[in-house]
Structure 1
Amino acid sequence: MDIKKYIITGLISGLVFAILLAGWDYYKQNPFSVLKFVIHTVVFGAFNGYMTYRKAKNVN
C-alpha cells in the first residue's frame, strides 16, 4: 500500500471541505479565521485519509 496516495487524498478532501466552510462563513458575513481553516483541513483530511486507507485495506 502506498501511504502517499492516502495522504494526498486526505489533503485534497480536507482543503475542499475547509474552502466550502470558509465560503459558508463568508456568505454568513463571519470573519475569516486562519486557525479554523487549518483545523478543518487537518481534522477532516486526516479522517478522510484514514477512512480511504481502511476501505482499501478491507478490499484487499
Structure 2
Amino acid sequence: MKIDPAIYPTRIKHLRDREGIGLNEAKRRVDREYLLNAIDNASSFYELRGVVRTIAERVL
C-alpha cells in the first residue's frame, strides 16, 4: 500500500483526531509508514536506491 501524496495531509489529520497526538508526531508516523511501505514495494534495485536516498536526505 502506497500513500498518495494528495491524501498525505488527510492521513495526518485523521491520525491526530483519532489518537490525540501532536502535529510533529503525526507527521513522523505517516512518514515512517510511507517509507516502510516504499521499501516493501520496491521492485528493483533502483527503486530501493531512491527510497534509501529519501531516507538519507531526511536524516542528514
TM tier, smaller? 0.3 to 0.5
Larger radius of gyration: 1
Q: TM-score, normalised by structure 1?
A: 0.43
